[in-house]
Amino acid sequence: MLGRLRDGLSRSRSQITDGLATLVLGKKQLDPALMEALEEQLIMADLGLEATHRVLELLRQRLDRKALGAEETVMSALKETLTELLAEQQKPLDIIAHQPFVILVVGVNGAGKTTTIGKLASRFKKDGKSVMLAAGDTFRAAAVEQLQAWGDRHDVPVIAQHTGADSASVL
């Protein structure tokens, strides 16, 4: 399960890790300036304030518990901390047969929502589910067309309006 999550979040992961790697590359200790920079980077990566503070507290505890060896760095400790937090939240997606099931996907621009929706549609279709997509992002240029391309690729119907239409007319 973590492998699929890791693959599905690869773009977000690279945005986070590129910024974090720049901050912590080769660092062996957490100082106040590094903690502040880490906090800023995690918040900018849309981790959220509460989750960011939890990550930083767990990271601080992890690094206080042990001395870092030659190969261990703040980055490796941060990876372990994030992996543990994700594992705590892991739950299977339980879709009950013969009942409507709606997944609403929201997020900031450029986060990979449409690609994720296309991959979910493909997976559910392969699992024998009846799938339909609704193109609710009617304002972003080519958003409707992008979702329709995913629908065509996986033989999934797409409900859509024209660009600029009221999203409520679709959803």
DSSP letters, 19-62, are HHHHHHTT--S--HHHHHHHHHHHHHTT--HHHHHHHHHHHHHH
- What integer pLDDT is reported at residue 140 of this predicted model? 79
Confidence check: pLDDT of 131 > 70: yes
- Please compute the mean of the pLDDT values over residues 111-117 and round it to a whole number: 88
- What integer pLDDT is reported at residue 1 of this predicted model? 44
- What integer pLDDT is reported at residue 100 of this predicted model? 86
Task: Write down the mean pLDDT value for the chain.
Answer: 81
Name, in order, each residue with C-beta under 8 angstroms of 143's C-beta and a sequence gap of 6 or more: 114, 135, 137, 163
- What integer pLDDT is reported at residue 153 of this predicted model? 93
pLDDT one-digit tens code per residue, 71-95:
557 778 888 898 998 888 888 877 7
Among residues 108, 99, 101, the alpha carbon closest in space to that of 15 is found at 108
- What integer pLDDT is reported at residue 122 of this predicted model? 93
Can you give the pTM of this predicted structure? Answer: 0.56
The CA dihedral of 116, 122, 128, 132, to the nearest 10 degrees, is 70
